[in-house]
Amino acid sequence: MKLYYFVTPHYQTIVDRYFLPFMPSDFDLREARLDQQVERYVFQGENWADLCLYKADVIVQAVRENMGSNILFTDADIQFFRPCRWQLEQLLEEHSMAFQNNLAPGEPGFEINFGFFAVWCDAATLAFWEAFRTLLRSNTKIFDQELVTLMLRQVPLKWAMLSHEEFMCPGRKWEPGQPLPVTPNLAMHHANWTMGIESKLRQLEQARAQFVRLDSLLNEARVDRTLFNGSALPYDGCGSRINSCRGLYELIKENLTPGSTVIETGTHRGISTELFALYTKQVLTVDTDICFEARDRLSKYSHVTCLQAESIQLASQLPDQVCDAVYLDTAHTYEHVKAEILAWLPKIVPGGFICGHDYTLHDPGLMKAVNELLGQPDKVYSDGSWIFKLPDASNTQTHSRTDGVSYVKERATELVI
């Protein structure tokens, strides 16, 4: 499968560090290089139309030269994590084209990403791209991505949107250090929604580091094997260990956002805390004894606060409605879980989540307390993680979602522990 990639000299560092080193071997590369007439092309800036027209010419010529074949077009600011040719070719068996989704998961509507798309070359797709080029030439006030999205709404071609789980971009404005929606199934990452080469390089670096950490966390036991007398942890029946983080990962991806503030009770080794840190804005983790391993693991995350304190006492000293979610994982006795739920429920904003670990038959007291106070969980995940969504409330005055963590940071030495 031929892969045509668009590059300017300004992007050469990205090409050398990320694009070429991680390129799957089953693509036949074709470079489409535009010599820069300006210092750099700024997205939808003054000279952006020149770049769009150049890309249009390359696409039309490539489709014309590859009739009866599948081809792939990409920008240079991408990196691969595994081979994906077979997925693209499978989609193109039933679709004329397949595009990366430019919006974050859950965002309404659709917007195609013009920096990564696959095409089945035939008369219909050639006519589509020729029309695209003509329209682009006649109206320089409309840009490539916007024009393709408009055309796809009106032209009777069957096309597909690539899965965000496998073909990822931030989907919203991104600044260095903000979480990225990396998944364990990731095939490709497109470093967009940010400006400047340095920022793109940092996004590429962060995505790869986050993927490596995620892969490690999902395969690391959350509790010591010695708790099971040195034997392997039991399976959940779905292909993973009971105390792996796979269920918690699914909970986070389905319910939380990069802007979420989370309070976790029960730090232990800091494995679940780190998983929250990879995908949310701020994390406060509290335990009566935070071990060196946990502190060392979490020290690289500036948005994580570790507090050695008793969970219920700490809750009594925090303002109400200070976080989006609380994850409970301390003692699992009926009395303690019931008291902890009652203590932390007021600290969650309306529409937020109360959740926790070990909703399994191994902990009947925990299950009884949860069921009595909240009812059956909205969902129980493979590792025993459970979750409830709290009702939304209109006209309710709430604190900033960052106030809880800021409050703790400012008053950590005064809190009763």
The burial of 135, by beta-carbon neighbours within 10 Å (0-12 exposed, 13-18 middle, 19 or more buried), is given as middle
Q: CA of 24: how far to CAs of 13, 73, 137, 267, in Å?
A: 19, 15, 35, 39
Provide the pLDDT for residue 219: 76
E strands, 84-221, where? 97-101, 112-120, 159-161, 167-168, 188-190
Mean pLDDT of the chain: 87
Quickly count: other Cβ atoms within 10 Å of residue 13's Cβ.
Answer: 15
CATH superfamily of 2-207: Spore Coat Polysaccharide Biosynthesis Protein SpsA; Chain A (3.90.550.10)
> What tokens does 50 get?
């020149």
Residue 344 and residue 360: Cα distance in Å, rounded?
21
Q: Considering the chain, what percentage of its residues have pLDDT values greater than 90?
A: 70
Average pLDDT over residues 281-306: 94
Average pLDDT over residues 340-351: 96
Average pLDDT over residues 81-97: 96
Query: Residues of CATH 3.40.50.150 domain(s) within the chain?
Result: 226-411
pTM for the full model? Answer: 0.77
> What tokens does 357 get?
């670990």
Q: Contact at 8 Å (CB) between 296 and 274?
A: no
Query: Residues of CATH 3.90.550.10 domain(s) within the chain?
Result: 2-207
Instruction: Indicate if the pLDDT at residue 28 is higher than 70.
Output: yes
Residue 247 and residue 284: Cα distance in Å, rounded?
20
Model confidence at 296, pLDDT cuts 50, 70, 90, reads very high
Instruction: Indicate if the pLDDT at residue 31 is higher than 60.
Output: yes
Please give the helix or strand (H or E) that residue 153 lies within, else none: helix 144-154
Residue 70 and residue 93: Cα distance in Å, rounded?
9
> What tokens does 296 get?
């060392």
Q: Does domain 226-411 have CATH number 3.40.50.150?
A: yes
Residue 18 and residue 32: Cα distance in Å, rounded?
17
